[in-house]
Chains A and B, each alone.
Chain A
Amino acid sequence: KAGVTQTPRYLIKTRGQQVTLSCSPISGHRSVSWYQQTPGQGLQFLFEYFSETQRNKGNFPGRFSGRQFSNSRSEMNVSTLELGDSALYLCASSLDGPGHNEQFFGPGTRLTVL
């Protein structure tokens, strides 16, 4: 079956702009989690969605938001971009949640903020 897909793969934005990233989970997976990966901070949990509801959220400012659609596809949005938002954003899907299940990761979206 098809893996997790993320679009776009690369993005270049300038400070103050906003960006929307998309994630399509594996068919049948209802949970989608988002992570930010940077060399300094490692993998940090952003939020998790299940059946269109946000169930868990990490320690990120309100500029970071997300949503999930009825087909389980998910988007995350970052408004008022800052230089520090430059990172690899990873999406992961699982059957019913990340806590004790295998997560399947997409290849990520590389965001560069200039």
Chain B
Amino acid sequence: AQSVTQPDIHITVSEGASLELRCNYSYGATPYLFWYVQSPGQGLQLLLKYFSGDTLVQGIKGFEAEFKRSQSSFNLRKPSVHWSDAAEYFCAVGARTSYDKVIFGPGTSLSVIP
């Protein structure tokens, strides 16, 4: 069964600073990996996803993530954070078949200091 951990419950960064959110997964095969963002009062929105190919994945809003199989990690990065990036970020692991469920990590809450 899949599982996901996000070691950081809450992170605070200054506007303009770089950001890295950590994600570790457990899955028996090559996983489908996702990062979603949830702004206050909103549903979740996909930032990016990875299955195969280039291990550095580009997403929306200037985010990128790097898949490292040896570390079972899929960390999310952004070189310069904007105040509007303050939100909850969820890493998730899927599966090969479309009908399999997706398991979400506990989330990391990001605060941005102006």
Binding-face segment, A13-21, A43-51, A64-72: A43-51
Chain A interface: which of B13-21, B67-75, B92-100?
Answer: B92-100
How many of chain B's residues touch chain A, expressed as a range? 20 to 34
A102 surroundings in chain B (CB, below 8 A): 34, 46, 49
Q: In the complex, what distance in Å separates the CA atom of A94 from the CA atom of B94?
A: 13
Interface of B is mostly: loop
- Which residues of B lie under 8 Å from residue A90 when comparing CB positions? 43-44
CA distance A105 to B104 in the complex (A): 14
What residues of A have a CB within 8 angstroms of the CB of B103 in the complex? Answer: 45
Residues of chain A touching chain B, judged by Cβ–Cβ distance below 8 Å, are: 4, 31, 33, 35, 42-43, 45, 48, 50, 55-56, 58, 90, 92, 94, 96-108
B binding-site residues for A, Cβ under 8 Å: 32, 34, 36, 41-46, 49, 51, 90, 94-107
